Amino acid sequence: MKPTILAIESSCDETAAAVVSGYNILSSLVYSQINIHKETGGVVPEVAARAHLEKVLPIVDRALFTAFSTQKWRLGLGREFLNKIDAIAVTYTPGLIGSLLVGVETANALALSLKKSVIPINHYEGHLASFLTPKQDLNFPVLALTVSGGHTSLYLMTSPSRFEVIGRTKDDAAGEAFDKGAKILGLPYPGGPAIEKLAKGGDKSRFKFPVPLSLQTGFDFSFSGLKTALLYTANKVDLNSDQTKKDLAASFEMAIATALVSVTKRAALAFSPKAIALVGGVASNQTVQDEVRTLTKNLNLDFYLAPKELRTDNAAMIGLAAAIKYKTNTSHDVYPEAQA
Ligand code: KG4
Ligand code: ZN
């Protein structure tokens, strides 16, 4: 049986709700707090938690309505469809505790009143599920590169539900490197898209950012050295020159992509997967995509890219991860333990 799952995600600065039926996404809505956090150049946890509180019920209501009706939504109409839900999935860790609490307690309260179970989902498992689609025939094992604002890891997946971490970042995540690099260049939050835009007219070979020795063996990543190298270079050059700024952005973007691909290539050669998957917010970066795609071509592997709307944080990926769990484990805890 394909379970119909209502999923909630509120681990950082997106309030999201979705309804999935198996791997089919019936609705997926995201309220992004980006405009709120732009003013402070990053996420302020207290502000994020309050914004989640304001949006979580309207977005759940709207996700339910959108999944089951083609009419125009008005607040309160979605709750009429709560009886169609088999279980409620929610991101329970990792994340900002105030933000997580909003989603977890909303899920618990709904589950309690509906007498349904809660499927607690780790946020990273959600990102990992984001390339699964009902149409695709996927070849496992898959080497999954997850690149987001809080997370950069390589997983070896032998099936949608079986995976192990084989490498992770020792310091900053790739998205964090983009965000911090953008601050150095005086660009707005979130930094990834801003750097990508600026890099378009830049020369990616003008500035050389060395790959640290620690990245030349093993499967772990490190990006804090790159950020420091950018800071030193930015202090030496004239940032009032538009072209210099563009060249710096392009070179920095290329250095991140190169670091990601060199570790991924080493892992692919060591673990012989059938495919490489690219997921997470940074997967939207064209240079990163191109470099990973080229790697898969050279190694004769399939390339699975998470769909655009599932790359940055969303609840559909949490629903997909829950759909996998629902199949393999039908006795879910009604009240997940607080493990954050
Ligand atoms: O997956 P995500 O929404 O959040 C976490 O789970 O952390 O990813 C957000 C991250 C941010 O750091 C943002 O700068 C980065 O993804 N990002 C990008 C691009 N779009 C988003 N980085 C580089 N290029 C992009 N086009
Ligand atoms: Zn994420």
The SS3 assignment for 216 reads: coil
pLDDT at 38: 77
Q: Which atom of ligand 1 is nearest to the CA of 176?
A: 12
Chain Cα centroid distance, residue 292: 17
Site of tokens 């990273």: 124
Q: How many residues does the chain have?
A: 340
Between the CA of 58 and the centroid of ligand 2 the distance, in Å, is: 22
| Mean pLDDT of the chain, nearest integer | 92
**Section 158-184 average pLDDT:** 95
**Section 95-115 average pLDDT:** 94
CA atoms of 302 and 125, how far apart (whole Å): 21
**In this model, does residue 244 exceed pLDDT 90?**
yes
Question: With contact defined as beta carbons under 8 Å apart, do 251 and 207 qualify?
Answer: yes
Grade residue 184 by pLDDT with cuts at 50, 70 and 90.
very high
Read off the amino acid at residue 218: G
CA angle 59, 62, 68 (to 5 degrees): 145
**In this model, does residue 331 exceed pLDDT 70?**
no
CA angle 52, 55, 57 (to 5 degrees): 110
Ligand nearest to the Cα of 318, by number: 2
pLDDT tens for residues 85-100? 999 999 999 999 999 9
pLDDT at 155: 98
Cβ < 6 Å from ligand 1: which residues?
148-151, 175, 178-179, 190-193, 196, 280-282, 284-285, 312-313
Grade residue 137 by pLDDT with cuts at 50, 70 and 90.
confident
**Section 236-251 average pLDDT:** 96
Give me the sheet containing 142-147, strands edge to edge: 162-168, 152-159, 142-147, 275-279, 302-305
pLDDT tens for residues 61-72? 999 999 999 999
CA atoms of 40 and 186, how far apart (whole Å): 13
**In this model, does residue 189 exceed pLDDT 90?**
no
Between the CA of 282 and the centroid of ligand 1 the distance, in Å, is: 4
**In this model, does residue 334 exceed pLDDT 50?**
no
Half-sphere CA count of 229, side-chain side, radius 13 A: 19
What is residue 200's DSSP assignment? T
By the 10 Å C-beta count (0-12 exposed, 13-18 middle, 19+ buried), 308 is classed as: exposed
Q: How many CB atoms lie within 10 A of CB 269?
A: 9
Between the CA of 319 and the centroid of ligand 2 the distance, in Å, is: 14
Between the CA of 97 and the centroid of ligand 1 the distance, in Å, is: 20
Probe ligand 1: pick from 148, 169, 187, max atoms within 8 Å of CB? 148
Question: With contact defined as beta carbons under 8 Å apart, do 287 and 252 qualify?
Answer: no
Nearest CA to ligand 1 atom 14: 192
**In this model, does residue 41 exceed pLDDT 90?**
no
